[in-house]
Amino acid sequence: MTILLLLVPISLILLGVAIWAFVWAVRRGQFDDLDTPAIDILREDPLPAEQMPATTSQSSQDSPATAEGKDAD
């Protein structure tokens, strides 16, 4: 029973720390925008400028009929 004399104050201190951390996070704006980070993961990153011409020139070299605009039939 005497252990409660130690555990109750420790739990109250931990509760105070948790409340302080929550208030600190709210004031810093951690909970301002909860939707955008979830949507950002679904967006594709644009290709770097140095890779874009290399991929388009490869596709035109692979298929000369497509490059001329004529059908292969």
Tell me the pLDDT tens digit for each residue of 25-55. Answer: 999 988 888 777 777 777 777 767 666 655 5
The span from the CA of 45 to the CA of 42, in Å, is 9
User: Structure pTM?
Assistant: 0.47
Q: CA-CA-CA-CA torsion for 28, 33, 36, 41, nearest 10 degrees?
A: 40
- Which amino acid type is present at position 73? D
The span from the CA of 43 to the CA of 39, in Å, is 7
CA 17-34-44 angle, 5° bins = 135
Q: Which residue has the higher pLDDT, 1 or 42?
A: 1
The span from the CA of 25 to the CA of 37, in Å, is 17
Q: Which residue has the higher pLDDT, 46 or 72?
A: 46
> How high is the pLDDT of residue 38?
76
